[in-house]
Amino acid sequence: MTPLFLDTSYLIDYLRGRPLSNKDEIVSAVHQKIVYYNGIILTELLSGARTPKSQKHIEKMLSGLTYLPVKYDDYKQAGLIRNSLFKKGFSMSTPDALIAVHVKKYSMKLITGDTFFIKAGDLLNIKVEILESGPDQYTGSPLRSDER
């Protein structure tokens, strides 16, 4: 199985309790310890946490995944990716470029709800899977109602 990198959008949908079409694949990969995230994902998730309880839930969820530190060379590669895409008329944020660097560097598949990554994935030659989620069951908290 290909290692997976979970984007913030996927994890938010999970936290909101949305039914996800690929949840079994993700759970299997978590058990195999081949699911990754980085500091960008941690920062984005904690930025949206409204309570200390939701912060703890986010940290607990991430503890089952493998953390990839962002190193000096990763920043350099992210800058080069942004520059190359800009020359092709495509703009990518620095956080998204750092995510793309890890996905490419470690030959992973990016699991995301952000359709922006379809074109970016083609341009960068990275595997991208756009999640399919069910109806929004959002309750005003990043946590599922049974976990608040």
* Structural domain containing residue 115: 4-68+107-133
Does 98 map to a domain?
no
Q: What was the pLDDT predicted at 24?
A: 86
Does 18 map to a domain?
yes
4-45 pLDDT, tens digit per residue, is 999 999 999 989 888 887 888 899 999 999 999 999 999 999
Does 79 map to a domain?
no
Q: What was the pLDDT predicted at 21?
A: 78
Tell me the whole-structure pTM to 2 decimals.
0.86
The domain tally of the chain equals 1
Does 77 map to a domain?
no
> Chain centroid to CA 107: how far?
15
Does 73 map to a domain?
no
CATH number at residue 23: 3.40.50.1010
Q: Quick one: which of 17, 7, 1, 11 has its CA closest to 140?
A: 17
Does 29 map to a domain?
yes
Q: Which mean pLDDT values do the consecutive 10-residue runs of the chain (148 residues) have?
A: 94 89 88 97 95 94 96 98 94 96 97 88 91 49 39
Does 80 map to a domain?
no
Q: Exposed (0-12), middle (13-18) or buried (19+): which is 43, by Cβ within 10 Å? A: exposed
Q: What was the pLDDT predicted at 133?
A: 57
Does 89 map to a domain?
no
Q: Quick one: which of 34, 33, 27 has its CA closest to 2?
A: 34
